[in-house]
Structures are given as structure tokens and as C-alpha cells.
């Protein structure tokens, strides 16, 4: 069976008609959780709760006097720091700093990239079957069609001819699944054959666990720009990364993209015209974060500790945790309807992300974030182990 587009709201003659923001549907469940005697534990979003590192805040303060306009391409020193980070942490040698650009967080780039690449109503954007909703929104913003599939071999010939852009998300949100280098290489080769751009959202690449945890002897999570995947060429390839997770910089909106030099030159030019520019003090803070690896190690240790508390608690009452080998989430199912599970957890005072927010293939799953504080993660684990998971939804 060939892959089909996920449904989106119909076009409107009066501007864009986008789907309702999905998280608004969580309001009644948040109200249920708020009634818990010990307060709610909100594990629905992957928003950092720990402090922004001192080294970053100090850099921000030092650069606060910034009367002039910044450049859309970023400072030369920031781009060099990003290039060196790619070498140290992602195994990418000789990346040209000219092919690097900071962005106002990664979400804005994900949403606007199909438009900035010149895609339109006749084009198809491919995204993973279970995926961050903004990939679909990006296609909607330029009038393209979004199709959910994990391999271009799933597409019928007519659809394949229209594919102009392919999203990879590894480690994946919400599943935490990691694509190995061979899998990525195959997808890159297929995309190049049809002239499609491959954009790889790699925002959780520093947060591998178990066999993907470099800190405990595991493998490095593959990057789309590494030679084993790319064949030694960045042609048609883009790698996106965010400092929100590794450095607690979600509030700074600090991210970057690197890859194909021709595409990057076009993106820089477009963003100059549109005024999509990272503020100078934020660029200085990003540079400080990239040049300091100790705070990343400390933060990852905190997430590892929380994960090791929450994971066995989920398994102890019958949740099946799938994938979740990297990233900030545990992707789990109780073998029931998503919203029945959301309701059950809200009654325990725990708020989670409904799997159905991430596409049709997410139905029946929920997403637990490990970004809660130590105290809130411990409270969630205690509540879970004291609860009894219903075997089926009430009739």
C-alpha cells in the first residue's frame, strides 16, 4: 500500500488556514492532573527545566551592548565554532564555515524551509510516519503536499516524481529512534536520484543512550553530512541542530544549519531579505556553549538519571516502551486508545504527550518527557508504581 498524505485543513481565501494547535486539546487533561494532592507532573513537553549554564549567561552579558545590526549569516567566529563542533562531536571534517548559518531556533527553520527552497503546490515533502507536526506545517505554508513515509520505495511513481524534499529526523521526536548510517545513506541516494533535498533534523544527537551513548562506550549517532552517509559530498544535504536540549537554551532560540554550499548561499540571501536574523548577544552565547563541553556532559548525566528512574516505573505497570534509544522521551503504549491512556495518566496527576499528535502511526502511544526536575520525575515514578494500569477502555 503506497503512502498517503496526512490530512491538513483546507485552504482559505483569507490567508492561511492551518490546523488548530494540537496542544490546546490537552487543557481538560491538565485540569484533571492539577487536582492531584501533590500537584501535577507535566511530562508532556520537552522543555528544559534546568538552569542555563553560567558560561553561556556570562557570554550573553558580555555581549549585551549590541547597538548595530547583526548579519543573517552569523559572525565568522560563531560559524568557525560550529564547524569545529561538527568535527569534534559529529565526525565531520573540513566543513566550510561559509556553508553554516545560525537560525532563530530550529522550529522556525523547519517550518519555513520548504518555502525558502522554493517549493509550491505541485511539490511533495516527505516526512517520517511518526513525526514532529511542524514538518507538515512547513509543507502547508508553501502549498506543498506532505506525505508520511520512512522509505521512498513506499511511494507510487506519480508521487515520487513530485518529491522535492525529504525530512530525516534522527534521533526521532517522539520515538527516540536512531537511523543507522546505512539506512540514511540509502535514503540520501534515493533522494539524489530524483533531485530532492534531504534535510536531517538532528537536534537530539548528543543524547544517545545504551548502544548510542558515546559517554559509556557506545557509537556516535550518524550525521547526514558524514562521509559514510553522504559519500563525501554535501550536495543536496542539510543538517539541522539546536542547542535547546544539550545546553538548556530553549529560551535563547539558538540553533544552526549546515550543508550544501549552493543551498546555504540561497538560504542566507533569503533570510537577509526577510530579516530572519539571530541577535548578536545570542550568537555570542551560542559560541560559548559550543566551545564548552563540560556543561553538556553534566546535563546529559541529569537526563540519564531521570530516565533510569522513569523507564522501569513505566515497565513495572505494563507499559511497553519502544525505541527511545536516544533523545528526551520515552515512547510508550499501554495497548489502548491514546486518549484513554492520557486520561488514566491525568488521573494519576501525570500529563503526557498524545501519540496521535505525531501522525496516524502514533495512535495508541503516548510520549513521556524526561525533562522534569529530579523531584517531579521521582514523583511520577512513585505514582506509576502505585497505580494499576487498566487492561482495556471502559465500554
Domain count, the chain: 2
SS3 at position 226: coil
| Residue 183 shares a structural domain with residue 113 | yes
| Residue 182 shares a structural domain with residue 279 | yes
| Residue 307 shares a structural domain with residue 264 | no
Q: How far is CA 108 from CA 138, 142, 225, 277, in A?
A: 9, 14, 21, 11
Q: How far is CA 79 from CA 72, 76, 202, 273, in A?
A: 12, 5, 18, 20
For 226-270, what is each residue's pLDDT tens digit? 999 999 999 999 999 999 999 999 999 999 999 999 999 999 999
Residue 152 lies in a domain: yes
Q: Which of 240, 262, 291 finishes a domain?
A: 291
Peptide bond between residue 174 and the one before it cis (omega within 30 degrees of 0): yes
Q: Cα separation of 304 and 308, whole Å?
A: 6
The answer to whether the beta carbons of residues 147 and 155 sit under 8 Å apart is yes
Residue 394 lies in a domain: no
| Residue 103 shares a structural domain with residue 205 | yes
pLDDT of residue 390: 81
Low-confidence ranges of the chain (pLDDT < 50): 1-2, 7-12, 394-395
| Residue 181 shares a structural domain with residue 98 | yes
Q: Which of 291, 309, 326 finishes a domain?
A: 291
| Residue 73 shares a structural domain with residue 152 | yes
Q: Cα separation of 205 and 43, whole Å?
A: 21
For residue 181, give the C-alpha cell. Answer: 548510517
| Residue 210 shares a structural domain with residue 313 | no
| Residue 210 shares a structural domain with residue 94 | yes
Peptide bond between residue 47 and the one before it cis (omega within 30 degrees of 0): no
Residue 190 lies in a domain: yes
Domain CATH for 339: 3.90.1150.10
Q: How many degrees, rounded to 5, is the angle at CA 165 between CA 47 and CA 133? A: 30
| Residue 210 shares a structural domain with residue 98 | yes
Q: Cα separation of 305 and 377, whole Å?
A: 10
Residue 267 lies in a domain: yes
Domain CATH for 93: 3.40.640.10
| Residue 169 shares a structural domain with residue 73 | yes
Q: Which of 271, 291, 311 finishes a domain?
A: 291
| Residue 311 shares a structural domain with residue 255 | no
pLDDT of residue 389: 86
Residue 350 lies in a domain: yes
Among 198, 217, 211, 196, which Cα is nearest to 326's?
A: 211
Q: Cα separation of 244 and 255, whole Å?
A: 8
Residue 6 lies in a domain: no
Q: Cα separation of 70 and 16, whole Å?
A: 30
Q: Taking the model in full, what pTM does it have? A: 0.91
Among 380, 354, 365, 351, which Cα is nearest to 29's?
A: 351
pLDDT of residue 184: 96
| Residue 281 shares a structural domain with residue 365 | no
- Find the DSSP H helices in the chain: 27-34, 54-62, 76-90, 105-116, 134-142, 157-160, 181-193, 227-230, 244-247, 261-274, 280-290, 294-316, 338-347, 374-386
Residue 392 lies in a domain: no
pLDDT of residue 14: 54
Range of the domain at 350: 22-51+295-386
Residue 5 lies in a domain: no
Amino acid at each position: 500500500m503506497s503512502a498517503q498524505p496526512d490530512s491538513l485543513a483546507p485552504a482559505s481565501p483569507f490567508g492561511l488556514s492551518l490546523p488548530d494547535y494540537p496542544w490546546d486539546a490537552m487543557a481538560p487533561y491538565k485540569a484533571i492532573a492539577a487536582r492531584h494532592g501533590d500537584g501535577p507532573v507535566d511530562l508532556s513537553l520537552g522543555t528544559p527545566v534546568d538552569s542555563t549554564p553560567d558560561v553561556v549567561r556570562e557570554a550573553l552579558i558580555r555581549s549585551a551592548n549590541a547597538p548595530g545590526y547583526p548579519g543573517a549569516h552569523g559572525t565568522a567566529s560563531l560559524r568557525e565554532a560550529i564547524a569545529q563542533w561538527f568535527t569534534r562531536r559529529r565526525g565531520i571534517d573540513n566543513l566550510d564555515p561559509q556553508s553554516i548559518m545560525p537560525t532563530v531556533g530550529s522550529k522556525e527553520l523547519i517550518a519555513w524551509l520548504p518555502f525558502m527552497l522554493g517549493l509550491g503546490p505541485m511539490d511533495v515533502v516527505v516526512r517520517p510516519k511518526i513525526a514532529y507536526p511542524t514538518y507538515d506545517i512547513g509543507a502547508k505554508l508553501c502549498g506543498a503536499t506532505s506525505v508520511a513515509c520512512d522509505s521512498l520505495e513506499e511511494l507510487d511513481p506519480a508521487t515520487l516524481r513530485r518529491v522535492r524534499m525529504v525530512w530525516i529526523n534522527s534521533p526521532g521526536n517522539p520515538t527516540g529512534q536512531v537511523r543507522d548510517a546505512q539506512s540514511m545513506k540509502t535514503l540520501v541516494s534515493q533522494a539524489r536520484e530524483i533531485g530532492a533535498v534531504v534535510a536531517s533534523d538532528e537536534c537530539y544527537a548528543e543524547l544517545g543512550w545504551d548502544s548510542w551513548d558515546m559517554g559509556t562506550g557506545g557509537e556516535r549517532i550518524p550525521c547526514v553530512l558524514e562521509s559514510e552517509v553522504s559519500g563525501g559530498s554535501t550536495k543536496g544535504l542539510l543538517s539541522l541542530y539546536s542547542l535547546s536540549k544539550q545546553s538548556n537554551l530553549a529560551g535563547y532560540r539558538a540553533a544552526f544549519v549546515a550543508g550544501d554550499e549552493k543551498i546555504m548561499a540561497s538560504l542566507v540571501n533569503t533570510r537577509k531579505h526577510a530579516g530572519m536574523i539571530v541577535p548578536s548577544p545570542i550568537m555570542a552565547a551560542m559560541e560559548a556553549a559550543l566551545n564548552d563541553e563540560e556543561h553538556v556532559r553534566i546535563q546529559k548525566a541529569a537526563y540519564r538519571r531521570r530516565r533510569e528512574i522513569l523507564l522501569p516505573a513505566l515497565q513495572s505497570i505494563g507499559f511497553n516502551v519502544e525505541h527511545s534509544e536516544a533523545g528526551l522521551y520515552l515512547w510508550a503504549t499501554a495497548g489502548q486508545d491514546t486518549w484513554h491512556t492520557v486520561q488514566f495518566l491525568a488521573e494519576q496527576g501525570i500529563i503526557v504527550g498524545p501519540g496521535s499528535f505525531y501522525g496516524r502511526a502514533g495512535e495508541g502511544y503516548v510520549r513521556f518527557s524526561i525533562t522534569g526536575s529530579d523531584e517531579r520525575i521521582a514523583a511520577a515514578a512513585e505514582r506509576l508504581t502505585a497505580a494499576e494500569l487498566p487492561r482495556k477502555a471502559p465500554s
